[in-house]
Amino acid sequence: MVFILFLFIRTDLLINIAWIISLYPDSSLWFKTIGLLRIVTLIRLLSEVEETTEIREIMGNYFELLKLGGIIFLCAHLSGCGWYAIAKYQQDMGISSTWFDKDTSSYDTTTNLNPVFRGYVAAFYWAIITMCTVGYGDISPTTYRERIFVIFMCLLASFLFAFSMNSIGMNK
């Protein structure tokens, strides 16, 4: 038991160190990805707050619905960040036929929006539309790396959709 606790604390410490390194602007994309694992710490903190307070008894199903919405939003955010990171990685490699290049050529780019923000909004939009199984097709994969990402993202999104429907059904 002590070994498992030590391993858990050590892993949490390594994740937090990677997160701190990921805050530097010149840090590697891999450190930024590992830094995202800090979300595990936030999830554990949320469950501790839920256990120590009576928030579930006070708010009832509203708390469960809020939690479910947060999970969906978080998954869409992470999927959008991954989708955008793949496009930027491919652009750094010199590939000019990414979804981002196709998307920016078809929309108004005369506004003074930050290109990173514009890319994040497009990626988040794609993640929400894909996760809701609407799939308009205006943003679609153009390279094999993007297609591989979409395959895994769609599988995870279908599991999330099934989980959310089950959670709503059980909390009548």
- Assign 163 to helix, strand or coil: helix
Q: Worst-scoring range by mean pLDDT, 11-20, 61-70, 95-104, 135-144?
A: 11-20
Q: Is 142 left (phi over 0), alpha (psi -120 to 50) or beta?
A: alpha
pLDDT of residue 108: 65
Q: CATH says 61-172 is which class?
A: mainly alpha
Task: Report pLDDT digits (tens) over 20-49.
Answer: 666 667 766 666 666 666 666 666 766 776
CB 69 within 8 A of CB 117: no
Please give the Cα distance from 85 to 87 (Å, whole number).
5
Give residue-wise pLDDT tens across range 129-152: 988 877 788 888 889 999 999 999
pLDDT of residue 60 exceeding 80, the answer is: no
Provide the residue ranges of all domains of the chain, joining segments of one domain with +: 1-53, 61-172
Task: Say which amino acid occupies 36.
Answer: L
Q: Which of 162, 155, 153, 159 is nearest to 76 (CA)?
A: 153
| Pair of tokens at residue 160 | 């999330």
